[in-house]
Amino acid sequence: MECVGAIDQGTQSTRFLIYDRTARLIASHQVEFTQITPRPGWVEHDPLEVWQSVLVCLEKAVKAAKTKEGDIKIVAVGITNQRETTLVWDRTTGKPLHNAIVWMDRRTAGICQRFAEDFGSKDHYRAKTGLPVSTYFSAFKWTWLHENVAAVREAKAAGRCMLGTIDSWLIYNLTGGVSGGIHVTDVSNAARTFLMDIHTLAWDADLLQRFGLSLDMLPRICSNAEVYGAVKGTPLDGVPIAGCLGDQQAAMLGQRCKPLEAKNTYGTGCFVLLNTGDTPIQSSHGLLTTMAYKLGPSEPAHYALEGSIAIAGAGVSWLKDNLRIIDSPEESATLAASIDGTGGVYFVPAFGGLLAPQWRDDARGVILGISSFTTRAHIARALLEAIAWQTKEVLDAMVQDAGREGFSLLRVDGGASRNDVLMQLQADAIQIPVRRPEHLETTCLGAAFAAGIGSGFWTKEWVLHSDACHAQDSQEFRPQADPEEIQQRFNCWQEAVKRSFNLEHFELH
């Protein structure tokens, strides 16, 4: 049996999944790894532990697949990864020079402020990169490493410094590491560094100079579906690595989003992406312009508008772990379904600020409208509604940026999309159907699709245009609420959002 494998290197765990020719999941294995938090707001990963987690997953998943199916042949492997997470390693030893700085880490806030002032605006390079100056993006993390880690400065001065994101680190090690490992990245990950020109799909000379970087330190930028090199060692020895995408772009491909189709991944936060086709659209409504995918070296690049929402599933975890008003994530759905409204309660989960479309670092969480009538069920339902309202905000911004009247469907995936109550609230909030596939791990599937296309195992046409055979395995949630009532409640929630502003250092005197 010929198969394709997908490495999914996420923020909290690593997985390896194996798919057959019909894209049916055969076997998988998952390993969690350590979250290192040296200070408040700092999050790191040990690159060697991440690499070891990949090796364990490869071995265990291949063994499980052979036990289940007998003789299998993996013809290609794809990679998807946590985006923006940044690391530096030594060219002569192949060893990391510091822990990886994770995408959510906020230690670069001062550096970002300095660059924004030097540039004259945090949006100075938005037309070129699609991005504002933000702690999210890799270039600012590399600056911190250079300014604060002596080993990094020494390696750079000696010409031994290699910069990369997690995809580059994994491909380097899979293809031999210090013994001939290749140094590449793909356009979707490169687009999140603040160093790539999204029009030329190349590292920008002006930005490299601004950040004091040289081309020899950086990986070569490739498409999302091509053979980058072959695996050396491991159970995949000799298998071509033929696909790579950042996690949200992989989910978009896994959902088969064609131009002017949108998907939302409900995880710790939410990531809404709209495929805008072969034209990058500059946002004037608080969204990011980024890559969707480029399915081959000579294939056209597809772009996307992206809206990032900080708190989705993390809010449900907060109800369980901090407030302790639920014992499991599933109980949030049960509680919310036990009542037919929030009783006038509005929840803005701006625990560490608001991302798209407001981008307010000074916002903090608020719960408004509490009365003696309020119960924990109202709080739970208000949080689920807040996730739906935040998604509506981003989709409304996309409609305005893309010059469209609206969308006909929202494709959804991610762990929190298992919550039926949330999905119904989402359909009501946006007044269009919400489609949830049977296989929710669309990020992994997207990486497999890219590798299948890059290796010739699948055609691009089959991946993007075989939707009918997969729609029958999906579930649709259709709007049931009155549109006028929805708009009125959304207006009230937006008023609550305004009350969350300027609360970062709020004190009563």
CATH number where 92 lies: 3.30.420.40
Q: Is the same domain home to 215 and 261?
A: no
Q: Is the same domain home to 144 and 241?
A: yes
Please state the domain count of the chain: 2
Residue that finishes a domain, picked among 248, 276, 302 = 248
Residue 415 lies in a domain: no
Q: CA-CA distances (angstroms) from residue 214 to 43, 221, 364?
A: 27, 14, 39
Residue that finishes a domain, picked among 186, 215, 248 = 248
Q: Is the same domain home to 333 and 262?
A: yes
8-state DSSP, 320: I
Residue that finishes a domain, picked among 197, 229, 248 = 248
Residue 425 lies in a domain: no
Q: Is the same domain home to 137 and 270?
A: no
Residue 145 lies in a domain: yes
Q: Is the same domain home to 24 and 73?
A: yes
Q: Is the same domain home to 213 and 241?
A: yes
Q: Which residue ranges of the chain lie beneath pLDDT 70?
A: 466-472, 506-509
Q: Is the same domain home to 50 and 188?
A: yes
Residue 414 lies in a domain: no
Residue 318 lies in a domain: yes
What is residue 221's three-state secondary structure?
strand
What is residue 274's three-state secondary structure?
strand
| Exposure letters 327-338 (e unless 16+ CB within 10 A, then b) | eebebbbebbbe
8-state DSSP, 217: G
Residue 498 lies in a domain: yes
CA angle 387, 391, 393 (to 5 degrees): 120
Residue 20: the pLDDT is 94
> Distance between CA 62 and CA 65 in Å, rounded?
5
Alpha helices in 70-198 (DSSP H): 109-119, 126-129, 138-148, 150-157, 166-174, 187-190
Establish how many alpha carbons lie within 13 A of residue 482's alpha carbon, considering only the half-sphere containing its beta carbon: 4
Alpha helices in 120-258 (DSSP H): 126-129, 138-148, 150-157, 166-174, 187-190, 205-210, 247-254
The tens digit of pLDDT for each residue in 351-367 reads 878 888 988 878 889 99
> Distance between CA 138 and CA 144 in Å, rounded?
10
8-state DSSP, 99: P
Q: Is 31 exposed, middle or buried (0-12, 13-18, 19+ CB in 10 A)?
A: middle
Residue 508: the pLDDT is 52
Position 381, amino acid? R
8-state DSSP, 94: -
Token pair of 488 as six digits: 């009125």
Residue 432 lies in a domain: no
> Distance between CA 463 and CA 468 in Å, rounded?
11
Phi, psi of 491 (to 5 degrees): -60, -40
Q: Is the same domain home to 261 and 212?
A: no
Q: Is the same domain home to 238 and 146?
A: yes
Q: Is the same domain home to 88 and 222?
A: yes
Token pair of 188 as six digits: 């979707």
Domain that holds residue 295: 256-405+482-502
Residue 16 lies in a domain: yes
Q: Is the same domain home to 208 and 226?
A: yes
> Distance between CA 221 and CA 141 in Å, rounded?
19
Token pair of 155 as six digits: 């390696």
Q: Is the same domain home to 203 and 78?
A: yes
